[in-house]
Amino acid sequence: MTLRKSLLGAAVAVAVSIIAAPAFSQSASLANPAALTEKAPAAYKVKFDTSKGPFVIQVNRDWAPNGADRFYNLVKNGFYDNVRFFRVVTGFMVQFGISGDPKLSAPWREARIPDDPVRQSNKRGYITFATAGPNTRTTQVFINFGNNTFLDSQGFAPFGQVISGMNVVDALNAEYGEGAPRGRGPDQGRLQQEGNAYLAKDFARMDFVRKATIEN
């Protein structure tokens, strides 16, 4: 191989690396979940720019105050920027909210918020925090593809709904489906530990959030 070819190859490798791993835009405050407790407005909108296009969520604080406040602080400080839609189950829901940076996953893993009473139903387009049991909500959320009313009695409290771009949500790549070990999708434990490097290597076609912003 000539030196010129070698340099060209190195340049291509660097370019690919930059495309595959864009810089994070999170604030330094994200390292300390206890500091991010700002009360959310009574209603606010969040625009998600994704690899498939934009969609907008309206959050209503009176639906689920604890969830609405947590979501507001996460979005405002850039937590959802560059996160992947790691669990997309056709006809059921799409889940996201594990940071692509393992250094951020660690402090948020135990940053739990109290449950909210279920005041709305898990209907199509409604967004809800994922849980692993009572009072275990942290950063993971899901958007319902269908009318999953059976989740209501299990304590899943919607805090907002998609008001535009539901066609974008419907189009998110579902080829990986359910997560491991039940499905062929990513293992959440590895995602927490390895971040987006794990997903880029083994689930390269997974859709992702480019940036989430609170709209005025």
Q: How many other C-beta atoms lie within 10 A of the C-beta of residue 92?
A: 17
Asked whether residue 72 is domain-assigned, the answer is yes
Average of per-residue pLDDT across 192-200: 91
What is the rounded distance in angstroms from the CA atom of residue 129 to the CA atom of residue 11?
42
Ramachandran category for residue 173: left, alpha or beta (phi over 0 → left; psi -120 to 50 → alpha): beta
Copy the structure tokens of residue 17.
């690396």
Asked whether residue 106 is domain-assigned, the answer is yes
Domain that holds residue 36: 27-215
CB of 47 closer than 8 Å to CB of 59: no
pLDDT band at 26 (very low <50, low <70, confident <90, very high): low
Q: Is the pLDDT of residue 6 over 50?
A: no
Residues of the chain by 3-state class (helix, strand, coil), percent to 5: 35, 25, 45
Whole-Å CA distances, 205 to 13, 30, 42? 19, 27, 37
Instruction: Report the percentage of the chain scoring pLDDT > 90.
Output: 76
Copy the structure tokens of residue 26.
């999170």
Asked whether residue 17 is domain-assigned, the answer is no
What is the rounded distance in angstroms from the CA atom of residue 26 to the CA atom of residue 28?
7
Asked whether residue 125 is domain-assigned, the answer is yes
Query: What is the CATH number for 146?
Result: 2.40.100.10
Domain count, the chain: 1
The pLDDT, as a whole number, for residue 179 is: 75
pLDDT tens digits, residue range 33-88?
A: 999 999 999 999 999 999 999 999 999 999 999 999 999 999 999 999 999 999 99
Asked whether residue 20 is domain-assigned, the answer is no
CB of 30 closer than 8 Å to CB of 104: yes
Which residue in 110, 115, 170 sits closest to 128, CA to CA?
115
The pLDDT, as a whole number, for residue 91 is: 95
Asked whether residue 9 is domain-assigned, the answer is no
End-to-end CA distance of the chain: 56
CB of 83 closer than 8 Å to CB of 48: no
Give this prediction's pTM: 0.86
Asked whether residue 12 is domain-assigned, the answer is no
